[in-house]
């Protein structure tokens, strides 16, 4: 079943077209990556899909709900882990999770159950009573993902989830993201080629707001006639491969 259907989605800021008639579809349970250099339109696409920014034209349907007409329903289906850690620094890890449960209207019992589940999944047990603002970048990212997952989203947007993390923290987060495959539809935006290649079922490469290619990492390498994904990305973005 199709989780996301994007039809001619366009966003213009005065004379700049941030996203230009983007059309693609993403299947349920798929881990889909959006790749591109700075200004490619990845974050704007995620902002439109998560109802943070209204498109200039076009539409997208998340589990058949329009991001323009059915905003409230779409918000009930999704969760976003933004580029910044987006945690409440003065609250403990547990209180941050409780905050998200509360804004989603969970009962006390359900909140407790979800917090236990997410704490276990993301290994947050040891830091549960620590203030979020005192945690390292890696732990804050874990908390950020836990806060996104706690609302049981059908579609999860991860915007640069491993940005600025060390190798070990990144590897740990990769494992967590892999464990979501098949259970949640994940849209990942990243600058890291190896991350997109290692984790994604399919990858879309964008440049100047336009979709250049959308396929599996293997097929993209094949089309770019190279064994290295990074090289394939450079060739496609530079227009060496059409």
Partner 1 sequence: MRMLTFAKRNAKEILRDPLNLAFGLGFPLVLILLLSAIQASIPVELFEIQHLTPGITVFGLSFMTLFSATLIAKDRNSALLQRLYTTPMTSLDFILGYTLPIIPIALAECAVCYLAAFALGLSLSVNILYALLMIVPISAFYIALGLLCGSVLTDKQVGGVCGALLTNLSAWLSGVWFDLDLVGGAFKRISYALPFVHAVDMERAILAGNFGEIFPHLLFVLGYTAFILVCAVFLFLRQMKNQ
Among 9, 87, 143, 204, binds partner 1 (CB under 8 A): 87
HEC sequence for 51-91: CCCCCCEEEEEECCEECCCCHHHHHHHEEEECCCCCCCCCC
Tokens of 200: 């994604």
Q: How far is 161 from 170, CA to CA, in rounded Å?
A: 9
Residue 7 has, within 13 A of its CA and on its CB side, a CA count of: 11
For partner 1, the closer of residues 154 and 219 by Cβ is 154
44 near partner 1 (CB under 8 A): no
Number of residues this chain uses to bind partner 1 (CB under 8 A) = 34
Residue numbers 160-219 binding partner 1 by CB under 8 A: none
Tokens of 237: 């973005």
Among 60, 62, 100, 180, binds partner 1 (CB under 8 A): 100
In contact, 107 and 184? CB cutoff 8 Å: no
Binding mask 121-160 for partner 1 (x = CB under 8 A): --------------------------xx--x---------
* Rg for the chain, CA atoms, rounded: 18
Among 81, 162, 189, 190, binds partner 1 (CB under 8 A): 81
Query: Which of these segments, 72-80, 178-186, 211-219, 230-238, binds partner 1 (CB under 8 A)?
Result: 72-80
Among 8, 27, 84, 240, binds partner 1 (CB under 8 A): 84
Q: How far is 180 from 33, CA to CA, in rounded Å?
A: 14
Q: Tell me the backbone φ, ψ of residue 185, rounded to 5 degrees.
A: -80, 120
For partner 1, the closer of residues 186 and 224 by Cβ is 186
Tokens of 128: 């549960």
What's the residue count for the chain?
A: 242
Least distance in Å: CB of 18 to partner 1? Answer: 13
For partner 1, the closer of residues 73 and 201 by Cβ is 73
Return residues touching partner 1 (CB under 8 A).
47, 50-54, 72, 75-76, 78-91, 95, 98-100, 102-105, 147-148, 151
């Amino acid at each position: 079943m199709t989780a996301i259907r994007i039809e001619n989605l366009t966003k213009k800021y005065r004379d700049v077209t941030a996203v230009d008639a983007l059309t693609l579809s993403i299947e349920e349970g798929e881990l889909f990556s959006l790749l591109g250099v700075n200004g490619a339109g990845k974050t704007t696409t995620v902002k439109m899909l998560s109802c943070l920014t209204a498109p200039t034209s076009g539409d997208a349907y998340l589990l058949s709900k329009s991001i323009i007409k059915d905003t409230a329903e779409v918000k009930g289906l999704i969760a976003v882990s933004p580029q910044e850690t987006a945690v409440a620094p003065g609250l403990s890890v547990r209180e941050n999770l409780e905050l998200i449960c509360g804004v989603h209207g969970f009962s006390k019992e359900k909140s407790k159950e979800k917090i236990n589940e997410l704490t276990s999944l993301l290994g947050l047990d040891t830091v549960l009573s620590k203030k979020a603002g005192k945690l390292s970048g890696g732990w804050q990212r874990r908390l950020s993902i836990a806060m996104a997952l706690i609302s049981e989203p059908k579609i999860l947007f991860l915007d640069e989830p491993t940005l600025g993390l060390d190798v070990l923290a990144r590897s740990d987060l990769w494992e967590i993201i892999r464990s979501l495959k098949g259970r949640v539809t994940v849209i990942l935006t990243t600058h890291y080629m190896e991350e997109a290649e290692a984790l994604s079922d399919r990858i879309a490469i964008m440049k100047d707001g336009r979709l250049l290619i959308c396929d599996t990492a293997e097929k993209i390498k094949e089309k770019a006639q190279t064994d290295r994904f990074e090289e394939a990305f450079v060739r496609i973005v530079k227009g060496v491969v059409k």
